[in-house]
Amino acid sequence: MAVYKKLLKYLAPYIGKLCLAGLCMLGVALLTASLAYLVKPALDDIFFQKNMRMLMLIPIVVASVYILKGICDFGQYYLMAFVGQSIIRDLRYEMFRKIEEMSVGFFVKHSTGQLLSRMNNDVSLVQGALTSAITGVVRDTLTVISLVAVVFLRDFKLALIAMVVFPLAIYPLINFGRRMKRYSRRMLISLEDITERLNETITGIRIVKAFAMEDYERQRFAVVNETLFNAFMRRFKVRAMSNPIMETLGGFGVCAIVTYGGYQVINGESTQGTFFSFMAALIMLYEPIKRMSEVNNSIQEGLSAGERIFSLLDTDPEVKDAPDAIILSEIAGKVEFQNVSFAYDSVNVLKDINLHVNPGEVIAIVGESGVGKSSLLDLVPRFYDPSEGRILIDGIDVRKVSQRSLREKIGIVTQQTILFDDTIRNNIAYGRPDLPLEQVMQAAEAAHAHDFIIAQPEGYDGIIGENGIKLSGGERQRIAIARALLKNPPILILDEATSNLDSDSEKSVQAALEELMKGRATLVVAHRLSTIQNVDRIYVMAQGRVVEQGSQNELLALNGEFARLYNLQFSRPNGEMSR
C-alpha cells in the first residue's frame, strides 16, 4: 500500500479527466445491465405474447443503448489512455531529473542497463497498474454491481446459488497475484541484464571485433536471453492459468443454475423471459469478473515495478547542497586543499592533502596509476565530498555554495572526451544553442579546431555521431577544449587531456590547451612529463599522499619520487610513463 500511495500522487493532476472517465464507466455499467434487463420483455412480450407495439419499441431501445454504451466506452478508454500516458511521461521525467541529481558515485554503483530498464520497462508496468486498477475497480465493479442487481431482481433464489461461486474465486485471485508479483520482479531483473548486455556490446563493438569475440558475446547474450525467456514464460503461465480456472468455476455455477432454473420454468414457477434475462445478466457478469483477475495481475506487476522505481526516486544523492547554500558569484579562482582526506566505500583514497593554486597559476599533479590523482580533481567540482578537511575557492568552503554555481566556474577537459550526437556548433556551445556563430568560431580558432571544422562537408553544422565517432581523437579533444574556452571559467581542470593522442595530435591539442590555460587557475594531471615543464608547481603523489612539491628542477634535485618517475619515463623510447 505504501508503494501504491506514492503512485497515486501521480494521478492527482488529472483528477478532472479521471472523474469524467468515471462517469463514462458508470454509463457503461448501467447500460450493460439494462441490456440484460431488456431480455425479459423482449422474450415475454414479443415472442410469447406477440405484442406488436413492443416489437417496434424494444429494438429501438436496444440500439440506443448500444450507441450510448459505445460512446461511453470510447470516452473512458481514451481518457484513461491519456491519463496513463501522462503518468508515464511524468514518471520518466521525474526519474530523469533524479538521475541527473545523483552524485557521480551513484553511477559507479548502478549500471547503464539498470537505469535504462527502469526508465522504460518498469515505468510501463506501473502505468498499467494505475490505469488498469482504476478502470477495473471503477468500471468493472460498477458493472458487476449493476448486473448483480438485475440478477437478484429477476430471481432471488437463483441469485443466491450463483453467488456461491464468487467466494471460491477469491483464493485463486490472491494466489495468482502473489505469484505474478514474484515472477514480474524476476522478469524486470532479467530485462536489466539483457539491456546491460546490449549496451556493453554495442558501445564496445570495436573491441569485440578487434578480438574476434563475436561468438563469445553471442554466448553471453544467449544466457541472459534464455533467463529472460524463462522469466516471461513463468509470468505468462500464471496469466494463462487464471482464465481457465475462472471459467471452470463459472461453468460449475452455470450448471447448477441451469438445473434449478430449468426446473422452475418446467414447473411454471418462473417464465422463460425471467430465466433468460437472469442468464444474460449472469453471463455478462463473467467478463468483468475475468477482467478483475487480469487487473489483479497487472496491479501486482506494477507494484513490483513501483518498488524498484521508488528505490531510485527515494535515494538521496551523496553530495547535496546545504540548506543555506550561497551562490558563488564572480571569483578570482584561488583553490586551496586544507588537510583533505577522501575515502570511497571505506577505502582510503586520499590522505591529508594540502595544496593550492592561485589565479593565473598552473599546477601539475603527477604520480603512478592508482595514487588518487583523478579522485583529487573530482573533489573540486564536488563530484564527491572529502571525508575530512575542506576545499576552498577564494576562501569559501565549496560545501557552502550551490553545486550549480560552483560548476559554472569550472572548466573540465579529460582524456575521455564526451561529445553528443549533434552538430559541431551545438557541441561547442553546449546548452547555449542561441549563441552567435561568431563566438563559437572564435572559441574554435583559439582551440586550433577551426581549420578541420570548415574542412567538414557541412562545417559547423555537421553531425559528429555518437560521442563524436566521425572525428579523430585529436579533433574530438579540440572540440572539448573549444567548449571549455567558450565557457570561459576562472578555474580549469585538465585530467590527462593528451594521454590518448599521437604525437602530431598532441602538438595541436597542447597548443590549444596553452591558449585555454592563460589567466586561469589550472590543475593538471599529466601523463607525459614533457607537457608540464613550464608549470608553476608540481605536486607528486604516492599512496594517496602528496610526498613532494616544487618546480621540476627542484624536484629533480631532491632525487626522490619525481626523479624516479622522470628517469623511468625518459628511459622509454616513446618518452611516456605509466599512468
Q: Count of alpha carbons within 13 Å of 512, Cβ hemisphere only?
A: 33
Report the pLDDT value the prediction gives residue 231, as an integer from 0 to 100. Answer: 84
Residue 483 domain-assigned? no
For the chain, what is the largest distance between any 2 Cα atoms, rounded to a whole number of angstroms?
120
Q: Which of 138-152, 260-274, 304-318 has the lowest mean pLDDT?
A: 260-274
Of the candidates 254, 279, 313, which is a domain's last residue? 313
Residue 250 domain-assigned? yes
Higher-confidence residue of 498 and 369: namely 369
CATH of the domain at 53: 1.20.1560.10
**β-strand pairing of 362-366 with 521-525:** parallel
Q: Is the pLDDT of residue 291 over 80?
A: no
Residue 450 domain-assigned? no
Based on the domain organization, do 236 and 342 belong to the same domain? no
Residue 467 domain-assigned? no
What is the residue type of 384? Y
d(Cα 240, Cα 300) in Å, to the nearest integer? 16
Q: 576: pLDDT confidence band, cut at 50, 70 and 90?
A: very low
Of the candidates 313, 344, 378, which is a domain's last residue? 313
| Lookup: cell for 510 | 597542447
d(Cα 392, Cα 399) in Å, to the nearest integer? 9
Alpha carbon 192 to its chain centroid, in Å, reads 11
Go through the chain and tell me how many residues it has: 579
Based on the domain organization, do 295 and 395 belong to the same domain? no
Report the pLDDT value the prediction gives residue 243, as an integer from 0 to 100. Answer: 65
| Lookup: cell for 237 | 503461465
Based on the domain organization, do 407 and 295 belong to the same domain? no
3-state DSSP assignment of residue 342: strand
pLDDT digits (tens, 9 = 90+) for 489-505: 899 998 876 665 556 66
Average pLDDT, integer, range 170-177 = 67
Of 164-178, 179-193, 335-349, 406-420, where does the model show the most confidence? 335-349
Averaged pLDDT score across all residues of the chain: 82
Residue 87 domain-assigned? yes
Average pLDDT, integer, range 415-425 = 85
Report the pLDDT value the prediction gives residue 162, as an integer from 0 to 100. Answer: 66
Of the candidates 313, 346, 379, which is a domain's last residue? 313
Residue 74 domain-assigned? yes
Based on the domain organization, do 302 and 346 belong to the same domain? no
Residue 97 domain-assigned? yes
Q: 575: pLDDT confidence band, cut at 50, 70 and 90?
A: very low
Based on the domain organization, do 182 and 105 belong to the same domain? yes
Alpha helices in 348-436 (DSSP H): 373-379, 403-407, 424-428
Based on the domain organization, do 150 and 201 belong to the same domain? yes
Q: Is the pLDDT of residue 251 over 70?
A: no
Domain count of the chain?
2
Q: 5: pLDDT confidence band, cut at 50, 70 and 90?
A: confident
Based on the domain organization, do 389 and 294 belong to the same domain? no
Based on the domain organization, do 9 and 141 belong to the same domain? yes
Average pLDDT, integer, range 498-519 = 70
Higher-confidence residue of 118 and 341: namely 341
CATH of the domain at 346: 3.40.50.300
Q: Is the pLDDT of residue 177 over 90?
A: no
Based on the domain organization, do 254 and 348 belong to the same domain? no
Q: Is the pLDDT of residue 93 over 70?
A: yes
Report the pLDDT value the prediction gives residue 523, as an integer from 0 to 100. Answer: 93
Of 57-61, 260-264, 508-512, 541-545, where does the model show the most confidence? 541-545
Domain that holds residue 358: 335-418+490-570
Based on the domain organization, do 225 and 134 belong to the same domain? yes
Q: Which residues of 180-207 are buried (b: 16+ CB within 10 A; e: fewer)?
A: bbebbbbbbebbbbbbbbeebbeeeeee
Based on the domain organization, do 170 and 105 belong to the same domain? yes
Residue 431 domain-assigned? no
d(Cα 58, Cα 43) in Å, to the nearest integer? 10
Sheet holding 491-495, edge to edge: 410-414, 491-495, 521-525, 362-366, 537-542, 545-550
Based on the domain organization, do 305 and 352 belong to the same domain? no
